[in-house]
Amino acid sequence: MPSPAPAPSATRPGRPTWAPPTLTRVPLLRADPDLGRYLSPTRRAAVEPELWTVGVEIPAGPWRGASRLASDPAAIGAMVLDGLIARELRLADTTSADLFGPGDIIRPDSDGPSSLDPPVCWTVLQPLRAAALDARVTAICQRSPELMMAVLDRINAQSHRLALSQAISHLTGVDRRVEALLWHLADRWGKVTPDGVVVPVPLSHRLLGSLVGARRPTVSTALADLTRTHRVMTLPSGDWLLTGTPPSSGPSDAAFTAHRPARGQSGQSTRESSKPKSAAPSSRARISA
């Protein structure tokens, strides 16, 4: 039997330790009623008693167990019930981030090895309470397609928000990016007050930079400009106060530029392009036609 590891001494600090997560029993449809939006009252009454799972509570700080929370390939993932989590990817000297909040589903990467293989860091920004959508929940969803459709709605909504975040990071001017991102967050968590819209999502300038594709000093300068023009204010609690108006959206889809085939490509499939071309009809044949 291996000997136990020695306790860290007072003179030589050991590795930091984290308390084990708190596990609870979670009735899913009570914790998240919207998950059963497609169920008829009869179907909901039949499914609700068996649709429970294990919940986990994690305090704010670095989160080392994100990949283990739903490691079973038959599991859907882990659904956030309360709290806020940041996922950061490091590529060369650049960090990109996205946020997960209530209703979002976290599923470990299943694509396998990547050519870039960026390291991933998870941080719990606000105390997390999540429910494991394990293999047992997956089996119930297979018998109740209405539940699976609600899960797909969540994943599709996350994909849309990620695409919008990517569009925000392409805006010219870091002040425009930061303001647009805060309005984007306000759509989910904003609270309307007489002074403006409060966004209770405390974010450091560094993390804001990772969310909008900018460096921390540039974000600080942009926030100073937004504060000076009374568009964004930082509250003592760390929340944000939006006093302006949301950035205007772009023109309708009729104004989008149509994509043309790449140079040397005709837009036809390889099989079609490999077929021998028939001789062009003569000008006399074209006229007679």
Cα 129 from Cα 71, distance rounded (Å):
18
Contact 85, 125 (CB under 8 A): yes
pLDDT band at 109 (very low <50, low <70, confident <90, very high): low
Identify any residues that bridge with 62 across adjacent strands, giving them in sequence order.
Answer: 123
Q: What is the pLDDT of residues 14-42, one digit of tens each?
A: 444 555 667 889 999 999 999 999 999 99
Write down the residue that tokens 């023009």 correspond to. 229
Burial 148-181 (b: 16+ CB within 10 A, else e): bebbeebeeebeebeeebeebbebeebbebbbbb
User: Per residue in 43-75, pLDDT tens?
Assistant: 999 999 999 999 999 999 998 877 676 567 788
Q: DSSP code of 201?
A: -
Confidence of residue 261 (pLDDT cuts 50, 70, 90): confident
CB-based contacts of 169, cutoff 8 Å, min separation 6? 177, 211, 212, 213
Cα Rg, the chain, nearest whole Å: 26
Q: How confident is the model at residue 9 (pLDDT cuts 50, 70, 90)?
A: very low
200-206 long-range contacts, CB within 8 A, separation 24+: 200/237, 200/239, 201/84, 201/99, 201/125, 201/239, 201/240, 202/125, 202/237, 202/238, 202/239, 203/125
Strand ranges (E), the chain: 22-27, 52-58, 61-62, 77-91, 94-100, 105-106, 120-133, 191-193, 196-199, 232-234, 240-242
Q: At what angle do helices 145-168 and 135-143 cross, to 10 degrees?
A: 110
Mean pLDDT (the chain, rounded): 84
CB atoms within 10 A of CB 3: 5
SS3 of residue 174 by DSSP:
helix
Per-residue pLDDT at 219: 97
- Residues 97-119 have a mean pLDDT of 82
